[in-house]
Amino acid sequence: MTERKFFGTDGVRGKVGQFPITPDFILKLGWAAGRVLSQQGTKKVLIGKDTRISGYMLESALEAGLSAAGLQAAFTGPMPTPAIAYLTQTFRAEAGIVISASHNPYYDNGIKFFSSEGTKLPDHIELAIEAELEKPLTCVDSAHLGKAKRIVDAAGRYIEFCKGTFPSKMSLKYLKIVIDCAHGATYHIAPLVFSELGADIIAMGVKPNGININDAVGATDVRSLQKRVIDEEARLGIAFDGDGDRIIMVDHVGNKVDGDQIAYIIARESLRRGELKGGVVGTLMTNMGMEVALKKLSIPFTRAKVGDRYVMEKLVQHNWKIGAENSGHIILLDKVTTGDAIVAALQVLASMVGTGLSLQELCNGMNMFPQVLENVKFSGENNPLKSDAVISAIAAVEAKLSNTGRVLLRKSGTEPLIRVMVEGEDADEVKMYALEIANAVKANC
């Protein structure tokens, strides 16, 4: 397959003000995407964003580029990534665009594209857009320039959709829930979804100011949520990331519940109801405890490369419905077309209501193996993964773990990092082994 120059595993992403996240490039990207997409149907594109201050600048640049290519832009304002996937379908738009860097800090941003079916753009479309980027920017005749408008009821439409994925005969009454919206795109959505289903909601991370997104809040840092759940004596906590496609939960005693555990709970509940279709797709990072627990239930399991794009590919390949990353991306293809944190949370809550069990009790069937992840900053000039010293360090650790653990090194698809993961039965040993390999990587970057 032809290597992409600009598109990563999750669109185009980087630090604002540095190529490619600059106004001139994003204008050209909008134009190039418009050129490709204008060859199809409605010539209408939905554009949503998270709460980063740079979103204002980037949506204006996108609008100009799309208009120059003859496409209409319909803006939703701050909206979760999965909401744009859903609304792209319901508005019969040619594509959906999300301006977001997901779980990254505010000074990063990115552009994600969805097809008219609410899925990530096919490879050939991304490659066609990259080919257009190599051409000089032109402008259609004035009479054919694209117009722009605001969609005023986008939030309400998505809220109703989310509520519709929760069993109609159930209620969240008597459930006290702390919700952390990461000062991100779910801040005006998630509290309404859960409160309208009857829950007693305590909301945090709902005061975005443009630069506080993901800052010591949300799915990437649940420490404040853990404390708040205990202080409020809540039944559980739910943390979303900046664009609402990742979820991490916290039980009533403050234990973190990650994407692997959430997928396990949803799969087991589907099995209990007789609704499970096929098995579960995880990733190379999925905890071995999930694999063991699913095997005990006779639920098939397979691993994909890290990235929700690859999880989706495996789901389609096997015709399965449940896929997950331990970072909190949960894909439920019987309900949504992409990872949707709010919808995933509702399925876990349905299991709690349906069984009468606490979140902690629902996790009891899965024993997590100790897993340590070390991130090493990587300049990109040398490839430490091919270094003899790093290869030797990996081999030494694998020999010590034998068949009771795993080692995985990979380049991040969204940040300039080498991720070092070690998993095994003894937490202290796993930590020591991860540091050994990480130090070898640092020495050879």
List, in sequence order, every residue forming a beta bridge with 303; answer none if it has no partner.
282
Structure tokens at 215: 């800052």
Low-confidence winner among 34-43, 134-143, 297-306 (lowest mean pLDDT)? 34-43
Any known ligand binding at 102?
A: yes
Which residue of the set 54, 67, 100, 102 is catalytic? 102
Q: Identify the band that residue 296 occupies on the pLDDT scale cut at 50, 70 and 90.
A: very high
Mean pLDDT over each residue of the chain, to the nearest integer: 95
- Res 382: pLDDT: 76
Greatest mean pLDDT among 265-279, 394-408, 412-426: 265-279
Any known ligand binding at 243?
A: yes
- Res 2: pLDDT: 63
- Res 445: pLDDT: 79
- Res 84: pLDDT: 98
Any known ligand binding at 270?
A: no
Q: Identify the band that residue 413 occupies on the pLDDT scale cut at 50, 70 and 90.
A: confident
Tell me which residue has tokens 């995933």.
Answer: 344
- Res 306: pLDDT: 87
- Res 403: pLDDT: 80
Percent of the chain at pLDDT exceeding 90: 89
Q: What is the mean pLDDT of residues 222-240?
A: 98
Judged on CB neighbours under 10 Å (0-12, 13-18, 19+), 227 is middle
Cα atoms found within 13 Å of the Cα of residue 121, Cβ hemisphere only: 26
Taking the CA atoms of 308, 269, 189 and 334 in sequence, report the sign of the dihedral they define. positive
Quick: pLDDT tens for 27-70.
999 999 999 988 767 789 999 999 999 999 999 999 999 999 99
Residue type at 382 in one-letter notation: N
Q: What is the mean pLDDT of residues 342-359?
A: 98
Quick: pLDDT tens for 210-219.
999 999 999 9
Cα–Cα distance for residue pair 107/294, rounded to 1 Å? 40
Structural contact between residues 366 and 290, judged by C-beta atoms closer than 8 angstroms: yes
- Res 294: pLDDT: 97
- In the residue annotation, 102 being an active-site residue is answered as yes
Any known ligand binding at 116?
A: no
Structure tokens at 5: 């120059």
Quick: pLDDT tens for 74-120.
999 999 999 999 999 999 999 999 999 999 999 999 999 999 999 99
In the chain, what are the domains? 12-151 (3.40.120.10), 157-363 (3.40.120.10), 371-443 (3.30.310.50)
- Res 202: pLDDT: 98
